[in-house]
Amino acid sequence: MNIVLLGGPGAGKGTQSDKLVDAFGFCHISTGDILRGAVKAGTELGKKAKGYMDAGDLVPDDLIIDMMKERFQQPDTAEGVILDGFPRTTVQAVALDSLLAELERPLDAALLIDVDPEVIVARLTSRRMCRECGYIGNVSDGDTCPKCAGEMYQRDDDNEDTVRNRLDVYAKSTAPLIDYYRGSDLLVTVNGCQEPDKVFADIKELLGL
């Protein structure tokens, strides 16, 4: 199955991807995770992307599309992928369509995790992540990851100003993809304001998993 996850920053795309991977072994591709890895490793891509990411702006389409073309060359993508954070613009969505057509792998669904923007601000400013295993938690987890005992930290772009900018960017550049995928009959919507396990149960039902 090839699935695009849609939804604003903090809608729960990472959390639901983790659940889908744990339950079904899908290959999860998060462009945000790849970019954060590139920044940490100090690669050319990381150097180019860092300023955009810190401001909550989108990294230019050509960099993202080249990065994803390379990622799709890896064999773990062949059985199906969950795309988390890509596409984020119509240009990226069109590029994904051609890439999948070239690889003869159809897109099965675009799953929108729908959450109210004010809920997102509260969620993201209290979000914490594990440096070691990538676990997504909350300020209530304290400094230690409940999964692997690694160090919990706050993402640079999870402060309130940047979160509000990321929401504006989402509304302007990414929300139009909802109509894009509705037009090709691939859109399914889940209410993301519920408990994560309930969201996951709904997703399984919607996708027939």
76 DSSP assignment = G
Q: E strands of 44-101, at which residues?
A: 81-84
Please give the size of the binding site for ligand AMP, defined by CB under 6 A: 17
- Of residues 90 through 109, those in contact with ligand AMP by CB under 6 A are 92
Residue among 26, 86, 181, 200 that touches ligand AMP (CB under 6 A): 86
- Of residues 149 through 208, those in contact with ligand AMP by CB under 6 A are 157, 166
Task: Give the H or E element holding residue 167.
Answer: helix 160-169
Nearest distance, CB of residue 61 and ligand AMP, angstroms: 7
Beta carbons of 64 and 75 less than 8 angstroms apart: no
Q: Which residue has the tokens 């676990």?
A: 135
Phi, psi dihedrals of residue 129, rounded to the nearest 5°: -130, 155
Q: Residue with CB nearest ligand AMP?
A: 32
Active site residues: 13, 88, 127, 155, 166
Residue among 19, 28, 88, 123 that touches ligand AMP (CB under 6 A): 88
- Of residues 26 through 85, those in contact with ligand AMP by CB under 6 A are 31-32, 35, 52-53, 56-59, 64, 85
Nearest distance, CB of residue 63 and ligand AMP, angstroms: 8
**Per-position DSSP letters for 169-184, written without gaps between them:** HIIIIITHHHHHHHHT
- Does residue 132 sit in helix, strand or coil? coil
Nearest distance, CB of residue 8 and ligand AMP, angstroms: 9
Maximum separation of any 2 CA atoms in the chain, in Å: 46
Closer residue to ligand AMP, CB minimum distance, 70 or 205: 70
Q: Is 124 near ligand AMP (CB under 6 A)?
A: no
Closer residue to ligand AMP, CB minimum distance, 52 or 201: 52
Query: Hey, CA dihedral for 68, 69, 74, 75, is it positive or negative?
Result: positive
Beta carbons of 145 and 130 less than 8 angstroms apart: yes
Beta carbons of 131 and 207 less than 8 angstroms apart: no
Beta carbons of 27 and 55 less than 8 angstroms apart: no
Closer residue to ligand AMP, CB minimum distance, 58 or 109: 58
Nearest distance, CB of residue 92 and ligand AMP, angstroms: 6
Task: Using CB under 6 A, list all residues that contact ligand AMP.
Answer: 9, 31-32, 35, 52-53, 56-59, 64, 85-86, 88, 92, 157, 166
